[in-house]
Amino acid sequence: MASSRSERPNIIVIYADDLGYGDLGCYGATSIKTPNVDRLASRGTRFVNAHSPSATCTPSRYALLTGDYAWRASGTQILPGDAPALIRPGQFTLPHMLKNAGYATAIIGKWHLGLGDGKVDWNGEIAPGPRDVGFDYAFFMPATLDRVPTVLIENRRVVNLDPADPIRVDYRAKVGDEPTGAEHPDQLKFCADPEHSNTIVNGISRIGYMTGGKAALWKDEELTDQLLGKAIDFVAARKDSPFFLYFAMNEPHVPRAPHPRFVGTSGMGPRGDAIVQFDRAVGALMEKLEELGIADNTLVILSSDNGPILFDGYEDQAVELAGDHKPSGPYQSGKYSIYEGGTRVPMIACWPGHVREGHVSQALVDHVDIVASFAALVGQGLPQDSAVDSFDMSMPLLGRSERGREYVVEDTKLMVTTGTKVASSGARILALRSGDWKFIRGSVEPHEFHGNAIGTLPQDQLYNLARDPGERENLADKRPDLTRKLAGWLDKIEQAGRSRP
């Protein structure tokens, strides 16, 4: 159990999906209104140097939940919906650590870390999964909004599954008679690229093929209300003893199909409307905490798993309607990119009376630090060989210190698998950010993916982020000594197998 000197607030991590540094009012957005998130920021501390561990989902979530940088492990690229469980039972995790400290733990929302041992039977017990790596309760989507199977799982079973209508999933070849986007574009709410043109569910074509499970299919427009309802049920049921809720929301990941009451609210089409929906859901959850009388002993962290993207496979007018909105704020590119837009994300911490109020923190922090920081907060130790990249940033997280990390390693891995097609060799692209400087290791990976700058060049890159936040002027040739020094430092961090002392 936790030591008597430690504090044990309830903890909620709200993890948005593809929400950018510039997408919130409190980070400078003017065309999208996010009053609820802005209020959270004004009551707590807002970070301007926070990083997601990677520029895509699976590796960021892996690092968040384990405290290990994902690039140390193999198989930590964007996973298909039928991939095996990446985090193995017995592995040290954030929810395990909090369970040991007496917390009730839950994940509600996006999982995307694989399920089962290779061949998942969607009609039976689905394990290993979140329940086997530290979560007492799980209500989740297996992968992404755009990947089959488009069903929700509660603990180890698909919700509303009719045994007479079994689910089959295939990422290589069509299964069943359900129409696909490629064959029936006339049935679609919006057109999609070839990768997103497989089985149609709810008028939206997805990545991968599925058949069956009709009664279990989610309705995109209702998903957020459904997840919010589950989140509210969980906190209400657990309000009298410490709980940890990992609320992994979907906005504004593609396909963007917000509830009709949000359609048209942003003037920016479905992407903006999805951010408004996200903001309202955050507001509703915060209101519930007040109503339950637990707002003052609940630590809320809100952030995003990677940077933003406008076009990510569906013709939903995100590009056309963006106007002068800058989803990455002052930074270059976004999701998938090794430039700052890939991993510099909004992050807010709020815990009335504990987290400094109305503060903007410059501290350099990374979601990989959350495990060690929460462990320090609740009085738990870390096993020596676990959470190997997680630093105790509890003081900066509480807004009480500006002394963050000395560096972060930024990461992207551009291995996108669609059926048998793989884009790029899937090499890992790493960068080191320390102080004003950013070093990007040279790589022969493609420089572009679907029109987005990944940031790779065959040669090394060096940027001064203080003077050049947009990473436009490569100084590697002008500052060869510094470039070499940072390159050597990154090699060492990589080769050491761990970075926590």
Residues found near ligand NG6 in the complex (CB under 6 A)? 17-18, 56-57, 78, 112, 144, 146, 195, 207, 253-254, 306, 312-313, 416, 418
Q: Which is nearer to ligand NG6, 57 or 87 (CB)?
A: 57
Q: Which is nearer to ligand NG6, 113 or 398 (CB)?
A: 113
Which listed range, 9-17, 202-210, 412-420, 481-489, lies at the site for Ca ion (CB under 5 A)? 9-17
Residues 6+ apart with CB under 8 A from 354: 7, 9, 299, 398
- Partner from Ca ion, ligand NG6, none binding residue 204, C-beta < 5-8 Å depending on class: none
**Cβ 342 to ligand NG6, closest distance in Å?**
11
Which listed range, 110-118, 302-310, 411-419, 457-465, lies at the site for Ca ion (CB under 5 A)? 302-310
Which listed range, 79-87, 112-120, 146-154, 301-309, lies at the site for Ca ion (CB under 5 A)? 301-309
**Cβ 416 to ligand NG6, closest distance in Å?**
4
**Cβ 17 to ligand NG6, closest distance in Å?**
6
Size of the chain, expressed as the number of residues it contains: 501
- Partner from ligand NG6, Ca ion, none binding residue 232, C-beta < 5-8 Å depending on class: none
Beta strands in 62-211 (DSSP E): 104-110, 137-141, 153-154, 157-158, 168-170, 200-201, 204-205, 209-211
Q: Which is nearer to ligand NG6, 210 or 487 (CB)?
A: 210
Helix, strand, or coil (residue 358): coil
**Cβ 312 to ligand NG6, closest distance in Å?**
4
- Partner from Ca ion, ligand NG6, none binding residue 195, C-beta < 5-8 Å depending on class: ligand NG6
Residue among 289, 405, 402, 281 nearest 351 (CA): 289
Residues 6+ apart with CB under 8 A from 374: 11, 94, 97, 98, 380, 394
Which listed range, 104-112, 158-166, 304-312, 351-359, lies at the site for Ca ion (CB under 5 A)? 304-312
- Partner from ligand NG6, Ca ion, none binding residue 108, C-beta < 5-8 Å depending on class: none
Helix, strand, or coil (residue 423): strand
| Residue 324 burial by Cβ neighbours in a 10 Å radius (0-12, 13-18, 19+) | exposed
Q: Which residue is nearest to ligand NG6 (CB)?
A: 57
Which x/- pattern, by CB under 5 A, does the window 33-62 give for Ca ion? ------------------------x-----
Q: Which is nearer to ligand NG6, 142 or 242 (CB)?
A: 142
Cis-peptide, bond into residue 128, ω within 30° of zero: yes
Q: Which is nearer to ligand NG6, 127 or 423 (CB)?
A: 423
Region of residue 114 (left: phi > 0; alpha: psi -120 to 50; beta: else): left
* CA atoms in the 13 A half-sphere facing the CB of 38: 15
Q: Which is nearer to ligand NG6, 426 or 488 (CB)?
A: 426
- Partner from ligand NG6, Ca ion, none binding residue 144, C-beta < 5-8 Å depending on class: ligand NG6
- Write out the H or E segment, with its range, that includes residue 426: none
* CA atoms in the 13 A half-sphere facing the CB of 483: 15
Single-letter amino acid, residue 391: F
**Cβ 55 to ligand NG6, closest distance in Å?**
8
- Partner from ligand NG6, Ca ion, none binding residue 51, C-beta < 5-8 Å depending on class: none
Sign of the C-alpha dihedral computed for residues 200, 147, 332 and 306 taken in this order? positive
By CB under 5 A, tell whether 305 contacts Ca ion: yes
For Ca ion, which residue of 10, 18, 59, 376 counts as binding (CB under 5 A)? Answer: 18
- Partner from Ca ion, ligand NG6, none binding residue 340, C-beta < 5-8 Å depending on class: none
C-alpha 177/C-alpha 323 separation (Å) is 41
- Partner from ligand NG6, Ca ion, none binding residue 78, C-beta < 5-8 Å depending on class: ligand NG6
Is the Cβ–Cβ distance between 346 and 44 less than 8 Å? no
C-alpha 108/C-alpha 216 separation (Å) is 17
487 DSSP β-pair partners: none
Single-letter amino acid, residue 374: F
Q: Which is nearer to ligand NG6, 207 or 227 (CB)?
A: 207
Q: Which is nearer to Ca ion, 146 or 460 (CB)?
A: 146
| Residue 30 burial by Cβ neighbours in a 10 Å radius (0-12, 13-18, 19+) | exposed
Q: Which is nearer to Ca ion, 17 or 340 (CB)?
A: 17
For Ca ion, which residue of 45, 303, 306, 343 counts as binding (CB under 5 A)? Answer: 306
246 DSSP β-pair partners: 13, 107
**Cβ 304 to Ca ion, closest distance in Å?**
7
Q: Which residue is nearest to Ca ion (CB)?
A: 57
For Ca ion, which residue of 12, 17, 36, 227 counts as binding (CB under 5 A)? Answer: 17
| Residue 373 burial by Cβ neighbours in a 10 Å radius (0-12, 13-18, 19+) | buried
**Cβ 268 to ligand NG6, closest distance in Å?**
19
Query: Which tokens hold the place of 8?
Result: 């044990």
> Strand 45-47 relative to strand 347-350: parallel, antiparallel, unpaired?
antiparallel
Single-letter amino acid, residue 9: P
Which listed range, 11-19, 89-97, 101-109, 401-409, lies at the site for Ca ion (CB under 5 A)? 11-19
**Cβ 218 to Ca ion, closest distance in Å?**
18
Single-letter amino acid, residue 113: L
* CA atoms in the 13 A half-sphere facing the CB of 180: 19
Q: Which is nearer to ligand NG6, 52 or 394 (CB)?
A: 52
Using CB under 5 A, list all residues that contact Ca ion.
17-18, 57, 305-306
